[in-house]
Structure formats: structure tokens, C-alpha cells
Chain A
Amino acid sequence: MTKAVEIRSVSKVFNLGRPNAVEALVDVDLVIEPGEFVSLIGPSGCGKSTQLRLIANLLEPTTGEVLVNGKPAHRARLDQDYGMAFQQAGLFEWRNVARNIELPLELKGWGKDRRRARALEMLALVKLPEFASHYPWQLSGGMQQRVAIARALAAHPPLLLMDEPFGALDEMTREHMQDELLRICGETSTTVVFVTHSIPEAVYLSTKVVVMSPRPGRIIDVVDVDLGARRGVETREATAFFRKVTEVREALRGIPAAHREPAVEAE
């Protein structure tokens, strides 16, 4: 089966050959299967956003190779094989909500009626059906982020790339958006690569948490999260959840798997 993402011995150096050269990523290997939800977590400047942009082909690797859907990342970008959402919703303020969602379809050359039908379908999916003709500034931060997700998924790409999409939201909205994201990705069976610096968020959402070291970024561990496909409020309070949170935290601190605390974190 074709892998959703394959990163093969990728390194990234910014300003290569200049005095201000920065080694952002060193020798990264990662394989993501279709249907997985993979979080990239690590301290600021660990290259997790860089890694996401390499998958998106917004950056080129210095060495190594990135495949998306079995194709070179560049080809996958031109084929719009992925959708992307950022920390800022990045809606175009001169377009109403429906026309924001239609933008990727417009660029694909879809006709007007087909575009509008899909936009309304996506708005129903993100539970904002009555906001089609609103403008971005009339929506709250959480609602804007939903529209951004609807836009990223409008063309039904098999892969969704997200760069700290809930980073600017308050805790309540954030938890709600996490549940919504799990529901939406479940319904659309989308593979997700999710950059975050929140350990509970990574654990709650993911099937796999990729733990990265401070700069230069390397993958120091990959923690499998087997909390089941259906997650909800109970999951957030479950012992297994806290155990995973502890495991990721210890991995972040650089404690090797064999020496990690097996005990349950106090609640």
C-alpha cells in the first residue's frame, strides 16, 4: 500500500554555506501510513514546522527525499494532494466564508455551481452551515479555524497538514476543536500530520507522537498511542491517557524508553 508520507534521511540547513547557516533538521526518517494521525512535538525551534513544510514542499530538503502519496513532494503539491491549516486561520478578509472555502477549488478550475455545492457541504461538516455569506471578521477565532479546516479539506485531499492550528485558541475552544477535528478526520478518513507543542493535545489526537530534540532537530522517539479510535471526555480522564502523557514528557526530556517511569502520573 502506498505510504501517505515517506521522509528518507532528510536534513535541512537554512542559509547553507553562509556564516548564518542554521541546521534545522538532521537525518530525519519517518513513514506515515494512510489513516494515521501523527503529531510532531518538540521544544521551540526543533524543526517540527520545518518538517511539515518539507512535506508540503513549501521548503526543499538540503539532502534526502520526501515522498507524499508515493510521489515526490513537489509533484504532490502541484496535484494538491494535501490541504494545509496554520496557526493563523489565514482567511482572505475580502472573501466571504463560502468563497474562502471555494478558493482551492477555483484554482483547480471547478465550475461555480460545483464549487458552491462543495463549500456548503464542507460548512455542514464543520457545523457552520448558516455562515456561508459571513465575512471572516464576523467570526470568532474558533469559527475561523473551522473554516480554515473546511477550506483545507474542500478538495478532499487524502492528507491534512496542520501547523499548531489551535495554538491561538483558549483552552475550552481548543478541546472542543480537538474533538471536532477527530470527528471530521474520522468521517473523511484523512491522514493528518499535526504540529503542536502541547503534550496532552498530541496524545489526545494522535495514533503516533513523533518526539523531536532541540535544534538541530532529530526524531528522538516515536510513541504509539493506542487509546482507540473513539475518544472523548472519558479519554481525557483515563489512566491510559495520563500514562501516555508521561511517556511523551519523559521522551521529550531525553529519557530512553527503558528507563522511563512505568508509574501512573498523579491526578
Chain B
Amino acid sequence: MRSRSLVRLVLPPVVFGLAFLVLWEGAVKVFDLKPYFLPPPSSIWTRFRENLGLIWEAASVSGTNALVGLVVGTVIGVALSFVLARFRVVNELVTPLAIALNAVPIFVLVAVLNNMFSITSEVPRRLMVSIVVQFIVLVNVTRGLRDIDQTHLELMRSFAASEVTILRKVRVPNAMPYLFTALRIAAPAAVITAFVSEYFGGSQNGLGSRIVGNIAISANAAAWAYVLAACLLGLSFFLTAVALELVVSPGGVGSPARDGA
């Protein structure tokens, strides 16, 4: 039964995707669209295969930036949310600040960060990713640590549990689904941020820079091949986050414990 529901889950988007590609290919042929306007999927795929080595290199650069930023941002975000959940005053001080920081247009920050570090450094991009990730993790995990079922709290008090015990046995497990919800959002966001950060100077070695570079020389099909790689990278981050959640969450697939936020 599970495999059947998996088929029902996967089949429609796959069929839709394939149909879309066929339509795209057909439209390019029928309307005789020029490659500089819109290259057909078949030639994007050819470029993708030809440049696999280069694409892989570029993807590793962007992917590493995204991953480092994701890990650092998650660690800082979780640490901050513990402080926020514990002290209401800190929460009221920091939350507006975090929201304000998140509202700053991303490229402004990258430009500022780029000026702070050497031009070939990957640090500004990683910092940028971690800032974006931090915010997502912070907001969700703080909620998970705070929104405790009243019955659970009374029960723990009836067991004579201390605040530290309540934190360990109730608040932290309660926050886990919130953390995974955050990661599901933050993982692809990390890739997008790493990618967009490359548009604003620095070394020209990542997926974002390669797309800009190829567009500049009108190598549209090659640019699209890098776009495809970026999609795959984002997707793999998202799927890793989902897989991690399935492994960690109690009761596995279908557990309502997963539907935290």
C-alpha cells in the first residue's frame, strides 16, 4: 500500500514535467525559436553532459558555501532560540532586530560583506547564507520550545520535574518537528542565497557566476545547463532535509509529530 501511495505521489509531477519538456521542445521547433531566445531542452541536456566536469566543480563551490552557511546558521539559530525561549526580555529585544535584519535586501549585505573580506574569499557568501538560515531556524525553534501543551506542563510539574528536566524531556523534543520544518525551508533557501550572493562580485567559480558569465557571451544553452545544476543542487538539499527528518522523527512516515509548525 505504501509503494502504491508513493507511485501516486511521484507519478503526477513526473508526467507533468515530461509533458512540459516535450511541449517546450516542440514549441522551439514549431515556432523556430532562435537559441539566443530559448534553447530547446535537448541542447541544454547536451551542454549539461559536455560540461559535466565544470558544472560539478561550480556546483561543489556553491554547494559547499550553502552547506557551511546552513550548518553555521542552524547552530547559531538553535543556540539563540534557547536563550530567547528562556528569557522573555531577550526575546522582545532580539526578535524585532532579527526581523529587521532579514528585511534588508540581500545584495546590500553581500556588497557590504564583500568589502569587509578579501575579494576571493568565500566567507561573505557563507555569512550571507548563515544569516538567512539563522532567521528561519530562530523563529521556528523558539516557537517549538515555547508552545508546550498545558497538560504536558502540569503533568511534568506533578512529577516534580525541574525546569531543566522539562527543557530536556518536553521542550527540546517538542521543538524537533519545528526544527525540521525550518530545515525544509532553510535548505533550499541556503542554496538560493549562496547562488544569488555570487552575482555581486568575488571569485567567479560558483554556479551563479557561471550563469552570469555564459549569458554575457550569449551561450544560452550552457547558461541553462548551469540553471539545471542549480535546480538539482537545491532539490538535493531539500530532499536531504526531508530524509533526515524521516530518519529522526519517531514513528517514521505519517507521524503527526512531523507536522509541527
Contact = CB atoms under 8 A, between A and B. Distances in A.
Interface of A: 53, 56, 58, 77-80, 82-84, 86, 88, 90, 92-96, 103-104, 106-107, 135, 137-138, 161
Interface residue tally of chain B, by bracket? Answer: 20 to 34
B160 A107 contact: yes
A103 B149 contact: no
Given A86-B151, A137-B255, A94 B158 contact: no
**Counting chain B CB atoms within 10 Å of each CB, which of A84, A88, A94, A104 scores highest?**
A94
B interface, over-half SS: helix
A96 B250 contact: yes
Interface of B: 149, 151-152, 154-155, 157-161, 165, 169-170, 173-174, 176, 250-251, 255-257
A94 B176 CA distance: 9
B117 to A, nearest CB: 42
Nearest to B161: A107
17 contacts: A53-B154, A78-B160, A82-B158, A84-B154, A84-B155, A88-B151, A90-B152, A90-B155, A92-B170, A93-B256, A95-B173, A96-B250, A103-B159, A107-B161, A135-B255, A135-B257, A138-B251
A90 B151 contact: yes
B160 A77 contact: yes
A167 B76 CA distance: 44
Nearest to B152: A90
Contact of A103 (B151, B160, B169, B251): B169
Nearest to B169: A103
Contacts of B149: 88, 90
A21 to B, nearest CB: 22
Given A78-B160, A135-B250, 8 more contacts: A58-B158, A84-B154, A86-B155, A90-B151, A93-B250, A93-B255, A94-B173, A106-B169
Given A58-B158, A94-B176, A104-B159, A135 B152 contact: no
Nearest to A79: B160
B160 A80 contact: yes
A94 to B, nearest CB: 4
A84 to B, nearest CB: 4
A135 B173 contact: no
A94 B257 contact: yes
Nearest to B162: A107
B165 A107 contact: yes
Nearest to B170: A92
Contacts of B157: 58, 77
B140 to A, nearest CB: 17
Nearest to B151: A90
Contacts of A104: 159
B250 A86 contact: no
Contacts of B250: 93-96, 135
Contacts of A56: 154, 158
A30 B169 CA distance: 35
Contact of A92 (B161, B173, B256): B173
Of A79, A106, A161, the most chain B CB neighbours within 10 A belong to: A106
B25 to A, nearest CB: 46
